[in-house]
Chains A and B, each alone.
Chain A
Amino acid sequence: MANAVKDERVQKTSPITTLLRRPEFGALMGALAIFLLFSSVDTTGNFGQPGGIAGWTDIAAPIGIVAVFVALLMIGGEFDLSTGVMVGTTGLLTGVLVTELGLDLWTSIFLVLLFAAGVGLLNGWLVVTTGLPSFIVTLATFFVLRGANLAVTKQFTGTVRVSLTEETANYDQAAALLASKIEFAGASFQISILWWIFFTILATWILTRTKFGNWIFASGGDANAARNAGVPVIRTKIILFVMTSMAAAFVGIMFVLRLKGMQAGQGVGVEFFYIIAAAVGGTLLTGGMGSAIGASLGAVIMGMAYIGIPYALWDSDWTFTFLGLILFTAVLINTFVGKRAMKGRKK
């Protein structure tokens, strides 16, 4: 029985609609617009040059590394508010293990990643077993870690800072890998940029090219329907929490190596940068849709704002205000364009 009826109302999809339907489209346009804006108001003539690019990508990289995994988690239908403080916790923990407890640097890095995986596992497990919103569960984790960061740091060092000296064994190795600079086109770029590109590609591959990625979309899109289709929703969500937490730890380790120490308050508030980057990048706050590339573009926009505002000699006290407006505008445009594109395909 193959008497398929051609529906005369089916329109051929134009390539433009296909492009508009991509969740990262808005972020790409936004990034171009903001680049043009800051290039035109730039007083140093450096914003679009290698030196300027090295500046704003340096800001964007650590945000982007975590934001791409936050985007995956959000597509999977969950939030993690403990990511920012996790950067601090893991940086501090690395310092404490090495400087205060005398552990080997590589061993410490391994233990810190393991610790982060454990916290992610706990977040995920608490969310799926209690059924409480992840917003609340991870907000609690955030405050627990925030307090612990201060208390434990003071306990060990008597100050609010943990330090990590260059004399530490294997520091050179680790720093070469995670906190060095690369000369390119007459400017020095942070190696974190390469990691950021790597993680963006990895996350995009996971999301769009693997079975697990399919399960992420399904879990966030409709957990019940996903379960009915045989998707292990609980496992998918827990793995996402673990990945997010480990991405934050990766950045925490990069920072402690680069800054040769860490303040107890580091990272607090940064969790919103990740969420903003993901949202600007077209990730739906209710889950089910989004892109890792979009989150990276969101991070680029933030990097450009951070460098572009002082380059334009604007008062940089307004940076956050600027980011707030960008968030609102970008999400508004994403929603509008996304809806139009969806409708365009409707029969």
Chain B
Amino acid sequence: MTVALELKNVTKQFGSVIAMTEVSMEVTSGSVTCVLGDNGAGKSTLIKTLSGVHKPTAGEFLMDGQPVDFDSPREAIAKGIATVYQDLATIPMMSVWRNFFLGNEITIGWGPFRMLNIKKMKALSKQQLLEMGIDLRDTDQPIGTLSGGERQAVAIARAVYFGAKVLILDEPTSALGVRQSGIVLKYVLSAKERGVAVVFITHNPHHAFLVGDRFYLLNRGKMINEFQRKNVKLDELTMAMAGGAELEALTHEISQVKGK
């Protein structure tokens, strides 16, 4: 397994606010790297750095071992880093196939008569979704009629089809129910099986534990812990994320309140 992305002591500062301090991480191809952290921990700042929205203030950002310096998300996309944002991935009123090919439309014809190859796009999107395990009878239906989980799944399938080497998912399950989250997690695994380096951001240790190969814990802008799948249990992950000692103190306090 090769290292697709690597951060070495990356710091990101917004004026006087230090959102990320000397963060180091590795993202390997064909595996799921989870970034866990509470609200305000700096998760969004981290993925925005990876996807080319922010430039690091200090530190190194390597892709395939080479230093990279993205000026815009477009440059990151061109290099194969795709980001699926929680609510901003698809356009509800547009059909599934139009969403699938949005920004990458297949056309036929010449000059001013160049037009969409609708037949091909419908067939391809149906086939690609099927390969990811998403069976839609009709890719003509507005994507808004699909459930939240299925929409995320389509966005993932789209990124994989268009050759994403790195797939960043920003809290894809945070607004979903149990069953829907399950759907998304399934496609996270199927993207991984295709050799994609998946970066999965979440504040839900249960979801992370189901699919993750490696876990990074972010707290107040610092990488406070790192686990490999084989060396960690769910309880440990949950504990570590909640700040271990803090959670114990809280449990104690609550039991005292109840005891009164």
Contacts and interface: CB of A to CB of B under 8 A. Distances in A.
Given A7-B135, A228-B89, A230-B77, A345 B98 contact: no
Contacts of A213: 116
B187 to A, nearest CB: 10
A210 interface: yes
B88 A230 contact: no
A221 interface: yes
Interface in A7-25: 7, 10, 12-13
Contacts of A205: 115
Contacts, number: 95
Nearest to A232: B103
A225 B103 CA distance: 11
A345 B143 CA distance: 10
A1 B190 CA distance: 7
A229 B115 contact: no
Interface in B86-127: 88-94, 98, 101-105, 107, 114-116, 118
Interface in B124-173: 130-135, 137-138, 141-142, 144-147
Most buried by A among B132, B135, B146: B135
A306 B41 CA distance: 64
Interface in A294-347: 342, 345-347
B145 A347 contact: yes
Contact of B85 (A218, A221, A228, A289): A228
B64 interface: no
Nearest to A290: B93
Most buried by B among A1, A2, A226, A342: A1
Interface residues of A, number: 34
B116 A217 contact: no
A3 B242 CA distance: 37
Interface in A221-269: 221-222, 224-226, 228-231
A229 B131 contact: no
Given A225-B90, A228-B89, A229-B102, A347 B147 contact: yes
B145 A210 contact: no
B74 interface: yes
Contact of A209 (B101, B115, B135, B193): B115
Contacts of B90: 225
B88 A222 contact: yes
Given A210-B115, A289-B93, A345-B145, A225 B133 contact: no
A343 to B, nearest CB: 8
A288 B91 contact: yes
B107 A226 contact: no
B116 A211 contact: yes
For the complex, would chain A's binding face be called helix, strand, loop or mixed by DSSP majority? loop
A185 interface: no
B83 interface: yes
Contacts of A12: 137
Given A4-B134, A5-B135, A10-B137, A217 B91 contact: yes
Contact of A221 (B92, B103, B138, B190): B92
A170 B74 CA distance: 51
A2 B126 CA distance: 13
Nearest to A13: B138
A3 B102 contact: no
Contact of B104 (A7, A209, A225, A230): A230
A226 B145 contact: no
A6 B135 contact: yes
A218 B114 contact: no
Interface of B: 73-74, 77, 83, 85, 88-94, 98, 101-105, 107, 114-116, 118, 130-135, 137-138, 141-142, 144-147, 190, 193
3 nearest A-B residue pairs (beta carbon): A230-B103, A221-B91, A4-B135
Given A1-B133, A1-B193, A288-B94, 8 more contacts: A4-B130, A4-B133, A4-B134, A5-B133, A218-B91, A228-B88, A230-B104, A347-B146
24 contacts: A2-B131, A2-B133, A5-B133, A10-B137, A213-B116, A214-B101, A214-B116, A217-B98, A218-B94, A218-B98, A221-B93, A225-B91, A228-B73, A228-B83, A228-B85, A228-B88, A228-B89, A229-B102, A230-B74, A289-B93, A342-B142, A345-B142, A347-B146, A347-B147
